[in-house]
Amino acid sequence: MQNDSRQAAAGSELTRGELEALLGTLDIALAGEVQAAAAASSGELRLSLHNSREFGMVISATAAGLDGALDASLFRKGRASAQALVALSSGADFLQRFQQTFVYQKLLLRAQQRQEAAPDAQLVLLFERLLALTADTARTLQKFDLTLILRQGKFFAIDASCTLSAAAPQRLARPIAKIDKLLHPATIGLIGVSGSGMNFGRIILRNLVGSGYPKTQLTIIRPDDTEIDGVPCVASLTALAHKLDLLIVAVAADAVYGLVDEIIASGNVESVMLIPGSLGETKKSREPAAALTHRINAAHGLSGGGPIFLGANCLGVVSHPGHYDSWFIPLERLPKPQKKPERNSVMLSQSGAFMITRLSQNPWLDPRYMLALGNQTDLTHGDLLSYFAVQAEIETLGVYIEGFKDGDGLHFAQAVRSAVLAGKQVVVYKAGKTAPGAAGVMGHTASIAGDPALFEAVLRQAGAIVAEDINSFDDLFYIAGALHHKKVGKRLGAISGAGFEAVGMADATQSDSFSMQMGELQDATVKRVEEILLAKKLAALVEVRNPIDINPGADDEAHLQITEAFLSDPNIDAVVVGLDPTAPMVRALGESKLRPGYDLSDAKSTVHLMPPLVNQHDKPIIGIIDGGRLYDAMAERLMDQGVCVFRNCARGTRALVQYTEARLAADAIRAATQK
């Protein structure tokens, strides 16, 4: 037990007497000297409350003593420790997380060896009392560490320490209702458009007009010209005849500092997009950028809340409902054709390039809105997610994060929970998980990477679908959009004409923290599949089971009839079907020279038969087209019709497993809230 005679004050440690009083509120007794000495090397449990920079107060439970010195990488995800956001936790909820750890398993086994009851009731009560400590507004806990042993059904403390801190200064609330002005502006102004060359400002102007935004609603702030590309110019912000819903700033970074003061003072702008980079990115710019943030924050205390700012170091916004594209990427390099009947997703990214590459590789993501946040001079991840969490037309949100501003991790997690309770899906990928990655993040968009394990634990607790890497983000954002209205469950059906593929699907059903099982086919399903195989003259070649290898001789119809049989089985919750494009009996080519007409144009091709099947069933169906460029047309035709297609069996199955785990967790959150 630490002993400090200093008086408890902001930023100070509690004295021994104060610690003992604090332990008394938890009903924790001090271990005797002999007892403590015996347990010192193998103390069973360490509990902590920690006021983190990003997430505010976090509760954690891990091993103490020698076990606590083990490398966490030795354990599967979530097994070394439990971490959770206090704001979203209860004692019972945290116990469920703690029960997944090896520390809990040791406590349980020792209780069983001593013929004692499981420690669950004591743990729930202890967790509840710890959580209650954070509600004391008279003092702010910075960190409270407690090392415990369990003896005869009671916890004893063998070590404890507690530090208080001064309350951190809070940023003023941004008027996030003005995000509507940013996304659906009736008027747009631009600063930084060249009258002679093709600079970023001029490209943005061309993109705005090229994406359908009316020239009559555009104004260029430029004193030396009367018009550029048919858009009128005015000399200054004060010369505007009307208020701007959105002002796009594409000037050199050094010019931004004074311009922001002018924008705020004019009172003529509701929202601002700061395109320039390097603000806060370099050592030289950090101090003036921080002062700029302070001035913008102070403006939110004015009547009306002042303007909101997106960026700086911001690629811009694509708003299909707002009829504008302000990215400085020429439209010829990144066309954005509509690929879904209804655009119902959003992509938020701290890096504009991340969005560009994702959309270029998979235009079927097809977000309704795409916003680059840059270095979050004003609007943060939490602000934007809070806005979209209550937009009825949005179903899926994909978010790329490099770092949070102070306290915004908590704001973001609460927004995730709000979105999940509203029936939405939030797919999140955070960069900077390794030491080199974290160093890279520090050099980009002025981020602080934070603890990746804490990030994942908190966001999963909130109900987000957390991606492990960029490929995983691509897959999960895509599959979430495709399967949002389907029911999910843990029993999988796997079908393919390739033996390796059927086995590969089964192998991909395991993740670190979740698994799907191969559903056991009912007798009626087995008989139905046998009849299909007999009609296709394949009965002698195939054994009906799950997973099933239906032989390369199976045609399109056979694949989909067996898929439907599996879907009709109550023991199957989802189907992954290899569509075997290289098999000679499958109509997978854009044009067949060997068998003219036996191709995608044939009414019996998968591209015609599969979409109605997908629409008729409320269970997920994943189509696998594992083949090269010859089969791009087949994949594209199916994806254009809303069929969820992957080009690799392991990747498609793994995405389904990860998605199912997250969907079931979100369903449990909603069910618990409704009780």
Using DSSP, state whether 163 is helix, strand or coil. strand
Q: How far is CA 120 from CA 14, 47, 99, 107, 456, in A?
A: 29, 15, 9, 10, 25
CA–CA distance, 589 with 72 (Å, rounded to integer): 50
Quote the pLDDT of residue 113: 87
First-to-last alpha carbon distance for the chain, in angstroms, is 42
What would the mean pLDDT of 447-471 be, rounded to a whole number? 86
Asked whether the beta carbons of 286 and 330 are under 8 A apart, the reply is no
The more confidently predicted of residues 308 and 197 is 308
User: What does the pLDDT read at residue 535?
Assistant: 97
Neighbour count for residue 247 (Cβ, 10 Å) = 27
pLDDT of residue 511: 87
Whether cis (ω within 30° of 0) applies to the bond prior to 554 is no
Both tokens of 147, joined, read 């090392």
Which has more confidence, 72 or 11?
72
- pLDDT at residue 24, rounded to an integer: 86
For residue 605, give both structure tokens. Answer: 């091709």
**2 pLDDT above the threshold of 90:** no
Angle between helices 523-535 and 556-567 (to 10 degrees): 170
Cβ-Cβ contacts under 8 Å for 299 (sequence gap 6 or more): 264, 305, 306, 307
Q: Which amino acid is at 11?
A: G
Q: How far apart are CA 79 and CA 376, in angstroms?
A: 34
Rounded Cα gap, residues 529 and 575, in angstroms = 15
Query: Is the Cα torsion angle 498, 502, 507, 508 positive or negative in sign?
Result: positive
**Rounded mean pLDDT, 8-17:** 69
Domains, the chain, in order of start with CATH, read: 16-165 (3.30.470.20), 176-482 (3.40.50.261), 486-667 (3.40.50.261)
Q: Is the pLDDT of residue 443 over 80?
A: no
Tell me which DSSP letter residue 547 carries: S
pLDDT band at 21 (very low <50, low <70, confident <90, very high): confident
* Higher per-residue pLDDT: 639 or 164: 639
Instruction: Return the SS3 of 111.
Output: helix
Residue 550 has pLDDT above 60, yes or no: yes
Cα–Cα dist 353/478, whole Å: 18
pLDDT of residue 442: 35
Residue 666 CA to residue 675 CA, distance in Å, equals 15
What are 490-519's pLDDT values in tens digits? 999 999 999 999 999 999 999 888 999 999
Question: Per-residue pLDDT for 261 more than 60?
Answer: yes
Q: Rounded CA gap, 224 and 239, in Å?
A: 14
Per-residue pLDDT tens for 210-253? 999 999 999 999 998 999 999 999 999 999 999 999 999 999 98
526's tokens: 């087995």
Cis before 185? omega within 30: no
**248 vs 154: CA distance, rounded Å:** 63
Are 569 and 492 in contact by the 8 Å Cβ rule? The answer is no
pLDDT at position 454 over 70: yes
Residue 445 binned pLDDT confidence (cut-offs 50, 70, 90): very low
> Which range is least confidently modeled, 52-56, 553-557, 651-655?
52-56
Residue with tokens 């943005």: 204
Q: CB of 148 within 8 A of CB of 42?
A: no
Check pLDDT > 70 for residue 451.
yes
- pLDDT for residue 141: 87
In this predicted structure, the answer to whether residue 11 has a pLDDT above a threshold of 50 is yes
pLDDT of residue 6: 35
Instruction: Give the tokens for residue 235.
Output: 């000399």
pLDDT score of 434 more than 80? no
**pLDDT of amino acid 66:** 78
Taking the C-alpha atoms of residue 450 and residue 463, their distance in angstroms, rounded to an integer, is 20
Per-residue pLDDT band at 369 (split at 50, 70, 90): very high
| pLDDT at position 544 over 70 | yes
Q: pLDDT tens, 343-358?
A: 999 999 999 999 999 9
SS3 string, 440-488, reads HHHCCCCCCCCCHHHHHHHHHHHCCEECCCHHHHHHHHHHHHHHCCCCC
Q: What's the whole-number mean pLDDT along residues 18-25?
A: 85
Lowest mean pLDDT among 127-136, 372-381, 415-424, 601-610: 127-136
Residue 564 has pLDDT above 70, yes or no: yes
pLDDT at residue 329 is higher than 50: yes
* 385-421 pLDDT tens trace: 999 999 999 999 999 999 999 999 999 999 999 999 9
- Listed in sequence order, the DSSP H helices in 114-199 are 120-133, 179-183
Omega into 38 within 30° of 0, i.e. cis?
no
Q: What mean pLDDT is predicted for residues 180-209?
A: 95
- Write the CA distances from 636 to 334, 376, 580, 590, 607, integer angstroms: 18, 37, 15, 11, 9
Tell me the C-alpha distance between 412 and 420, whole Å.
Answer: 12
Interval 427-438 mean pLDDT: 75
- Given its phi and psi angles, is residue 563 left (phi above 0), alpha (psi -120 to 50 degrees) or beta? alpha
- Per-residue pLDDT tens digits for 34-90: 455 555 545 689 999 999 999 999 999 998 877 877 877 788 888 889 999 999 999
Give pLDDT, residue 238: 92
Predicted TM-score (pTM) of the model is 0.93
DSSP per-residue codes, 551-581? -TT--HHHHHHHHHHHHT-TT-SEEEEE--T
How confident is the model at residue 452, as a pLDDT?
A: 85
